[in-house]
Amino acid sequence: MKKGILVVRGKALEPPYVMRQEADRIFVNDKEVYPLPEIEKPKERALFKAVPEVPEFQVPAKIQKVLEDFQTSWASGIIRDVDNLIKDASGIIRSEDFIKDASGIIRDADDFIQDYQEEKHTLKHVLKSKDIPFVETEKYNDVLIPVENEWGVVALFNEAERIKVAAEIDMERPVPFKYQYKDAAKFKEYIETGLKEGDMVIMDDDQMEFIPHEYLNEVANEIPGFSAMSTEEQAESLTEQLPLDLTREPVRKIKSAAIFFPHLSWQREVVGRHSRYPFSLAISLKSKGYRVWLLLNKRVTLKEWARLLGMGQKLNLRAIYNQGHGNRNTIFVGEPNLKKNWYYFNDQFVYKHAKLHNAIVHIHSCLTLADNRLATAFLRKGACTYGAWRTTTSANPAYCDKCDGIFWRPLLSGATTGTACRALNTFDSMFRCRGNKNCKLP
């Protein structure tokens, strides 16, 4: 390919590509491509032509209704208590500007509603009254509802404690603040690099795909009259040919990577900007000949995790990188909401779905190496190295980018996972690795 192809929400842009930056906004041929929009209902473009079936992940109607009613009631300050859900379960009553609990203690209503511990205790009363099993996590006191043995719902998420942890870590190991216009400039650089190298970049709602020119050339050579086509026709032809049929053996040699960034919108709202390293890593891996799938926000679903883990061997999936929230033996995904009440999965999910071969797995999430359950599951299902945090870590985008760059840069230069793990452990001693220390990115 002599020129790259950029497809934005199903429409191929015609070269020459004129890129410009206005503050923190990026335009290509007058079409805005950055910042990435928040999309409540992203249109789903299938990552693959055909895939083996994976189960549906449906929350039972009873659990769904109880959580929705509780959230509605709490968000109203219990002025509206749906079906007396909170009153019947915990005895809490709202009276003008005050809250009275079952013991008769009176509290200021605003203070009560904003107190995470009060919300947690109230929700636990509600769940017990409805015979819905739940667990409370050790560090953050999140409330999780198991739906199946391997997955469930984050019924309550302790955002305030995570912000506090980030502030403490930032004081201990400060990193330079990054401005949004600099993030935009970097994003522009990533896209320009790919197009100059003749690659294809596909931007859809909450997902991006980076396809190296070496792979495109092989596909283009099999399309009659490809060189005489317009850019739009080339993009349409490639779009038809590029999706893989994973019910069959791959017909081309491939190496690939999956990058999950489920809490981009949460990070942007709470911290003021989001991490840039997921995009940086995608471009770097693409430059090494990897086909890269980058899933964001609500496109990070249990189903996509199951699909990609299950097709790890067929895809030669050699790099798996997740930046998002987690807890002991739990990884939070991006569905069904942008900023709360996500689903989660645990080690049993990995045992059930994963079929990997020598994959390097980097889970940038709190406490995902607090014990060895997730690490053992990934390693037993074919991962080569598993790296994660033994305790909490900062959600500050600058800190996340610093850590992830320290880990991945040596690997991109041909070093072993042992070298990468030692480098990050030197900066943040709570990061550790399990598995083979001699793994490399092919």
pLDDT in tens, 36-82: 999 988 887 778 887 778 889 999 999 999 999 999 999 999 999 99
CA distance 197 to 203: 17
Helices of type H across 76-115: 85-90, 109-114
CA distance 94 to 105: 12
* pLDDT on residue 52: 75
252, pLDDT greater than 80: no
* pLDDT on residue 166: 94
* pLDDT on residue 3: 79
Report the greatest alpha carbon distance in the chain.
81
Read off the amino acid at residue 90. Answer: S
* pLDDT on residue 227: 86
Secondary structure (3-state) at 206: coil
pLDDT average, residue stretch 187-206: 93
CA distance 233 to 22: 31
Give phi and psi for 352, each to the nearest 5: -75, -35
Does domain 5-38+175-435 sit in CATH 3.30.420?
no
CA distance 163 to 155: 19
Least confidently predicted of 14-23, 318-327, 352-361: 14-23
1, pLDDT greater than 60: no
For 295, half-sphere exposure in the C-beta direction (CA atoms, 13 angstrom radius) is 28
pLDDT band at residue 340 using 50, 70 and 90 as cut-offs: confident
Please answer whether residues 197 and 4 qualify as being in contact, where contact means their C-beta atoms are separated by less than 8 angstroms: yes
Sheet holding 19-22, edge to edge: 19-22, 25-28, 31-34
* pLDDT on residue 433: 99
Residue given tokens 């900023």 in the structure block:
339
Q: What is the mean pLDDT of the chain?
A: 94
Please answer whether residues 370 and 344 qualify as being in contact, where contact means their C-beta atoms are separated by less than 8 angstroms: no
In terms of residues, how long is the chain?
442
pLDDT band at residue 306 using 50, 70 and 90 as cut-offs: very high
179, pLDDT greater than 90: no
Q: Which parts of 308-382 are beta strand (E)?
A: 317-323, 326-327, 330-332, 343-345, 359-364
Least confidently predicted of 15-24, 232-241, 323-332: 232-241
CA distance 42 to 256: 24
Please answer whether residues 211 and 255 qualify as being in contact, where contact means their C-beta atoms are separated by less than 8 angstroms: no
* pLDDT on residue 253: 80
Element (H, E) at 84: none
Of the candidates 74, 136, 42, the one whose C-alpha atom is nearest the C-alpha of residue 338 is 42
* pLDDT on residue 50: 78
Secondary structure (3-state) at 283: helix
* pLDDT on residue 394: 96
Least confidently predicted of 72-76, 227-231, 380-384: 227-231
pLDDT band at residue 251 using 50, 70 and 90 as cut-offs: low
Read off the amino acid at residue 230. Answer: S
Please enumerate in sequence order all residues whose Cβ is within 8 A of that of 62, keeping only pairs 6 or more positions apart, or say none: 130, 132
